[in-house]
Amino acid sequence: MKGPLTRETAPRNVWAEGCEAWTFVDTDTLSVKLERMQPGTTEMRHRHSRAQQFFYILAGEARFEVGHETIFVSAGQGLHIKAGEPHLVANEGHDVLEFILSSEPATTNDRINEHEQ
């Protein structure tokens, strides 16, 4: 697609309990999404065997579990997750968490949930 992408024009996916993702780039080698997590939501702990990821927080504060470490990341900060690192992101705050998620290569068919490991 040519021209600027917006939330209104990007494909939207709803996951978990009211969490949303808008996909801006979706190729074999790169994925870029805008994600929005409602307060009190957590994704399932997982890893990607090939993809590295970068989370850039736009609003709110995220709690990440990466390996055995807990890391809090606030608006204006980012976090790099290396391929193979078990991780999850949670919104334990009272505000909506919004972030840009870049994955290289894309994570299609490259997600292993912790209970499947």
| Tens digits of residue pLDDT in 44-82 | 999 999 999 999 999 999 999 999 999 999 999 999 999
Tokens 């309990």, located at residue:
17
Separation CA 18–CA 43 (nearest Å): 12
Q: Which residues of 34-44 are buried (b: 16+ CB within 10 A; e: fewer)?
A: bbbbeeebbbe
Checking if the pLDDT of 98 tops 90, the result is yes
12-50 pLDDT, tens digit each: 999 988 899 999 999 999 999 999 999 999 999 999 999
Closest CA to 62 of 30, 36, 34: 36
Q: What does the pLDDT read at residue 1? A: 53
Of 90, 109, 110, which is closest to residue 99 (Cα–Cα)? 90
Question: Domain limits of the chain?
Answer: 21-116
Fold of 21-116: Jelly Rolls (2.60.120)
Query: What pLDDT score was predicted for residue 17?
Result: 84
**Contacts with 54 (C-beta within 8 Å, 6 or more apart), sequence order:** 78, 79, 80, 81, 101, 102
